[in-house]
Amino acid sequence: MYDAIVVGARCAGSPVAMLLARRGYRVLLVDKVTQPSDTVSTHYVQQYGLRKLDEWGLLGRLAATGVPAIRRMTISYRDAVIDGFADPLDGIDLTYAPRRTVLDPILLEGARTAGVEVREGFTVRELVVDDGRVVGVRGGYGAEEPAEYRAKIVIGADGSQSFVARSVGAEIYRSIPAASFVYYSYWTGLRTHFHSRIGVDQQVGVWPTSDEQTLVAIMKPIARWAEFRTDPEASFLQVVKDVVPEFAEQLVDAGERVARLTGIRYPDNFYRRSHGPGWALVGDAGYHKDPITGQGISDAFVHAELLADRVAEGLAGERDLDEAVADYERARDAATASAFQFAATIGELTLPPQLDAVFTAMSGNDEYAKDFFNVIAGALPGEQFFAPENVARMVGGVRA
Ligand SMILES: Cc1cc2nc3c(=O)[nH]c(=O)nc-3n(C[C@H](O)[C@H](O)[C@H](O)COP(=O)(O)OP(=O)(O)OC[C@H]3O[C@@H](n4cnc5c(N)ncnc54)[C@H](O)[C@@H]3O)c2cc1C
């Protein structure tokens, strides 16, 4: 009998397992894949995400992989350009965008070192339910006889299409339809820094990543998906040419693509019920938003810790386990409401007039731009930056 079984061993699952094991609990962590394994995701980690890695003693291991430091960001919306970086956040004065084949094994190793029992290549196919309460999982390796493991709580950290969520019937209680799709790949030979530019109904994001490679990603509205896919290679290059023509020249002349193009239509933005008798959801399984703000990984870290703290209270008998986990959901939702809305809005790739005006205000004012970078970094609450009086102050300055 385990204290906890965690399904999914990436940004949410490995940390929650690690943090529980560090408190002395017996934890089983399973994933159907074996690390290192890539996944469909780009990989910009915000300062508030790196702060968690630092607190957990894992940031040094990430830095030691040679992933390049990012200390400058250029973000633009049509003609409004902001350039700079956030203030240091508890000493974190940079960001990284490691490949998931680099980051996820470090997280898993952190869990293993903490004493978590890890089963890779293990697919959960069924939840074990006793008198309405989830008490374990059944699954296995390929066609092998299924194994059954039991625990006081089963945590689904198994991504936006969560099997655990489907099995318990966890409902989505807030959702905003996805607006866009993405295509991305990796190049060598490019000299550039982090930039993200939304042009007219399309976006290009570029940043340095592991192995001296550069990620180039494009986003477009979902309505253009079928048309784009008639010739993804040509369509991709056309978006780069339209949005950042000077970079497109470098891409063609100096860049060598070293991976295939990967494309995906985003799932809808949602909050999903994340607690119930004997179960919890964390990471994208419970809360998913448009990746345009690059917060999914960092949020998974923060929410893994929030959940581990609550589960530990329950396992220690300080309070009822299910009530403690319900608290986790409330705290998560309260802390993310404004970021959720912001990601869905920006994901439309055409900003509403007021947000357009905020971008224009920031492009002419270093203080506003710095505040915005601090929001992205996790140092300034979005609620404060987007508070009506602050928006009026910024936009009023533009009008004046
Ligand atoms: C195109 C794209 C770009 C993105 N870019 C960024 C970015 O730049 N920055 C950022 O912060 N976020 C980004 N995100 C979001 C980020 O990828 C997610 O928020 C993050 O991966 C969530 O982590 P997770 O651990 O919750 O789930 P996942 O990373 O999805 O991991 C879930 C794991 O569960 C396992 N699993 C599933 N079902 C089972 C089962 N039945 N049995 C066993 N194992 C199972 C899977 O194998 C997988 O390993 C992006 C997402 C996409 C799609």
- Token pair belonging to 215: 């990620």
Of 10-19, 92-101, 344-353, which range is least confident?
344-353
pLDDT over 50 at 11, yes or no: yes
- Residue in 284, 94, 351 with CA at minimum distance from that of residue 386: 351
Report d(CA 56, CA 166) in Å as an integer. Answer: 31
Q: How far is the CA of 285 from the centre of ligand 1 (A)?
A: 9
- Token pair belonging to 83: 């350039």
Report d(CA 6, CA 280) in Å as an integer. Answer: 9
Ligand 1 pocket, mutate which of 31, 160, 236, 306 (most atoms under 8 A from CB): 31
Nearest CA to ligand 1 atom 35: 8
pLDDT over 80 at 397, yes or no: no
Q: How far is the CA of 15 from the centre of ligand 1 (A)?
A: 13
- Radius of gyration for the alpha carbons in the chain, expressed in angstroms and rounded: 21
Contact of 159 with 196, CB cutoff 8 Å: no
Nearest CA to ligand 1 atom 17: 41
pLDDT tens-digit readout, 264-322: 999 999 999 999 999 999 999 999 999 999 999 999 999 999 999 999 999 999 999 99
List, chain by chain if needed, residues with CB within 6 Å of any ligand 1 atom. Answer: 7-8, 10-13, 30-33, 39-44, 123-124, 157-159, 163, 182, 264, 283-285, 291, 294-298, 300
Q: Give the DSSP H or E segment for 353.
A: helix 353-363
Q: Does domain 2-43+99-176+267-345 have CATH number 3.80.30.20?
A: no
Task: Give residue limits of the domains in the chain.
Answer: 2-43+99-176+267-345, 180-265
Contacts of 353 (CB under 8 A, 6+ apart): none
- Token pair belonging to 192: 């550039």
Nearest CA to ligand 1 atom 26: 283
Distances (CA, A) of 292 to 118, 226, 256: 32, 21, 25
Ligand 1 pocket, mutate which of 16, 28, 42 (most atoms under 8 A from CB): 42
Q: How far is the CA of 56 from the centre of ligand 1 (A)?
A: 20
- Averaged over 53-73, what is the pLDDT? 98
Q: Does domain 180-265 have CATH number 2.60.40.1180?
A: no
pLDDT over 50 at 120, yes or no: yes
Report d(CA 116, CA 118) in Å as an integer. Answer: 6
What's the confidence (pLDDT) of residue 188? 98
What's the confidence (pLDDT) of residue 399? 53
Q: How far is the CA of 78 from the centre of ligand 1 (A)?
A: 30
- Averaged over 100-107, what is the pLDDT? 98
- Averaged over 55-61, what is the pLDDT? 98
Q: Which atom of ligand 1 is nearest to the CA of 288?
A: 19
- Residue in 113, 1, 24, 112 with CA at minimum distance from that of residue 316: 24
Contacts of 15 (CB under 8 A, 6+ apart): 52, 56, 107, 110, 111, 300, 301, 304, 305, 308
Percent of the chain with pLDDT over 70: 99
Q: How far is the CA of 9 from the centre of ligand 1 (A)?
A: 9
- Averaged over 385-399, what is the pLDDT? 86
- Both ends of the chain: CA-CA distance in Å? 67
Contacts of 81 (CB under 8 A, 6+ apart): 74, 75, 363
- Residue in 73, 118, 77 with CA at minimum distance from that of residue 97: 73
Report d(CA 157, CA 300) in Å as an integer. Answer: 9
What's the confidence (pLDDT) of residue 398? 60
Q: Which atom of ligand 1 is nearest to the CA of 160?
A: 30
Q: How confident is the model at residue 250 (pLDDT cuts 50, 70, 90)?
A: very high
Nearest CA to ligand 1 atom 23: 11
pLDDT tens-digit readout, 189-237: 999 999 999 999 999 999 999 999 999 999 999 999 999 999 999 999 9
Task: Count CB atoms within 10 A of the CB of residue 132.
Answer: 8
Contact of 363 with 78, CB cutoff 8 Å: no
What's the confidence (pLDDT) of residue 335? 95
What's the confidence (pLDDT) of residue 364? 87
For 107, the 3-state DSSP assignment is helix
Q: How far is the CA of 40 from the centre of ligand 1 (A)?
A: 8
- Token pair belonging to 154: 């089963």
Q: How confident is the model at residue 400 (pLDDT cuts 50, 70, 90)?
A: very low
Q: Which atom of ligand 1 is nearest to the CA of 285?
A: 26
Length reported for the chain: 400
Q: Which atom of ligand 1 is nearest to the CA of 30?
A: 43
Mean pLDDT of the chain, nearest integer: 96
